Amino acid sequence: MNPLALAAVAVALLLLYVIRQIRVYNSLKEFRGPPTSAFSRLWLLHAIYSGKMNLHFNTVNEQHGDTARIGPRFLLTRDPALIRKMNAVRSPYTRAEWYNSLRLHPTRDNIVSFRDEAIHNKLRTQMSHGYSGKENLHMESDIDEHLLQMFGLIRQKYISTDAQYRPLNLSRIITFFTLDVISTIAFGKSFGFLVIDDDPFEYLKQLHVFLPAIMMFSVFPEVQKIMRLPLMRKLAPQATDVTGLGKIMGFAKDVVAERFGDNKVIRKDMLGSFLAHGLTQEQLESETITQITAGSDSTATAIRMTLFLITTNSSIYSKLLSELTIAQREGHLTRPILRDSESRTLPYLQACIKEGLRLYPPVTGLLAKEVPPQGDILDGRFVPGGTSIGWNSWGLMRLTEVFGQDVEIFRPERWLPGGGQNKEQIEYMNEVVGLVFGYGRFGCLGKPVAMVELNKSIAELLLRFTFQVANPAHPFDSTCIGFFLHENMIFRVSERQEPLDFHNLQYNLSTVATDHAGLAYSNGALEVEV
């Protein structure tokens, strides 16, 4: 080809690119946003990798409206009605390309990452029974076992006295608790983090690696397509890895394998329910990885932040403790661990939990949905088909027209009669805060498990121990990148002075079994005497 022809081709390609960019720009020109967002994804990448994506997203909606532009084909919303509309059972909206980033297994999708509606709906039907607890006979007792383990570990290693200060890293121990819980109720075998008070998988360290990678894939899905090539898969986590997500993959593969073959394990847990409803061995391996990562970090954030917000406000701390001790004294709480059903009857505890979820929604990832091919009209503005719309959970939970003017304040009273909101407003607040667990056909299947953990752990920790934050000026380190990564949340913990009937519990954590992977786990090693 001669030079003139080459030049002509180059000019033609450049012209096509310019025309395409103009069309992309014009497609959402009625929506305001950061200046570069109309033609580049770099603002979005910067917001995510700043470690403060929740604050950047909230600023966008504060400055540019409840639905604003954050990318060439990307909108961000904090409008509750739009979020419900996109997630409704019969909505024409589908999961956007953003969800491709949530495929944690290198070769298989999971219930979170599937974009095919038929496959996703079938999986939800197959898995809903296991998550609801209807076919998991041990769920609450498994949670109780790990609560008692956590209390025993605190008493054994982290109780401070007048003569000795033994700091407790609350962010670490709560994550250990939720990891042990999800592994036990999911497939009947605990990781054993609480037993050894350590992270044999280096899971917490790896969170700082694979969460940024997931967010990179969510902004630039082209990169993940490259990573799915056979040659590049070798760079992905492998079941043979000795640490990190790969080690968890290996653990999941082994426990799933135990449910198959001549000497298969039969247990009424989540894994047993999934198997009974037709999931294959490969599907089970992929889903267990998702359960562990999505089911532990989000719940850990909700527990530790709610507990932090309670214990750093003396009036709230005192009021909740009064409710709990009166209920204990009057015999309304089962000992040694209250039942989930009992915790739901405690209005101030429930108000504190809702307020904690509101102020710190555990999931800040965009969870973007795709506008149907025919497009849609939002607030009188046309949005073309194929546009992605993500939610701003942080901003959603700070809408003054929903929650009142003092949205930055942890005030559980707003959820109770006489707290400044009428009955209709409280009902609407409940609807909106419920969105932290998703909605409709995209609602979180793990909500029942998370709520049982929240209801029981916060109440029991406060009944047993007194918590004092070690450094009020800098109480913890925090990174927000789809989930919250909290570190160095140091507390001084002491035994409660008020004598309680269950304070004579004795814990024996010295008997530790060892599983086939060489990791410590609890299997009847906990002895409780009342």
Output the pLDDT for position 104. Answer: 73
- Asked if residues 303 and 174 have their Cβ atoms less than 8 Å apart, the reply is yes
Please state the pTM of the whole predicted model. 0.88
Q: For the chain, first and last CA: distance in Å?
A: 89
| CATH superfamily assigned to domain 41-521 | Cytochrome P450 (1.10.630.10)
Please list the rounded mean pLDDT of every run of 10 residues in the chain (530 residues).
66 57 70 94 94 97 98 97 96 94 79 90 90 81 96 98 97 96 86 93 84 87 70 63 75 86 82 89 82 85 98 97 97 96 97 98 96 96 97 98 96 93 94 96 92 97 97 96 95 81 39 34 30
Q: Locate the domains of the chain by residue range.
A: 41-521
- Asked if residues 276 and 282 have their Cβ atoms less than 8 Å apart, the reply is no
Cα 440-83-302 angle, rounded to 5 deg:
80
Output the pLDDT for position 235. Answer: 61
Output the pLDDT for position 243. Answer: 73
Output the pLDDT for position 433. Answer: 98
Element containing residue 427 per DSSP (H, E) = helix 423-433
Q: Give me the amino acid identity at 481.
A: I
Output the pLDDT for position 502. Answer: 43
CB count within 10 Å of CB 269 equals 22
Output the pLDDT for position 88. Answer: 96
Tokens found for residue 91: 């909505």
- Asked if residues 187 and 269 have their Cβ atoms less than 8 Å apart, the reply is yes
Does 480 count as an annotated binding residue?
Answer: no
CA atoms within 13 A on the CB side of 206: 17
Q: Which residue is it, tokens 């667990």?
A: 437
β-strand pairing of 74-77 with 388-391 = parallel
CA–CA separation, 75 and 117 (whole Å): 22
Tokens found for residue 100: 């491709």
One-character DSSP codes across 405-425: S-TTS--GGGGSTTSS--HHH
CA–CA separation, 179 and 146 (whole Å): 10
Q: Is the dihedral of CA 96, 101, 106, 111 positive or negative?
A: negative
In terms of C-beta density within 10 A (0-12 exposed, 13-18 middle, 19 or more buried), how is residue 122 classed? middle
The answer to whether the bond into 200 is cis (omega within 30° of 0) is no
* Helix residue spans in 158-234 (DSSP H): 170-187, 193-196, 203-219, 221-227
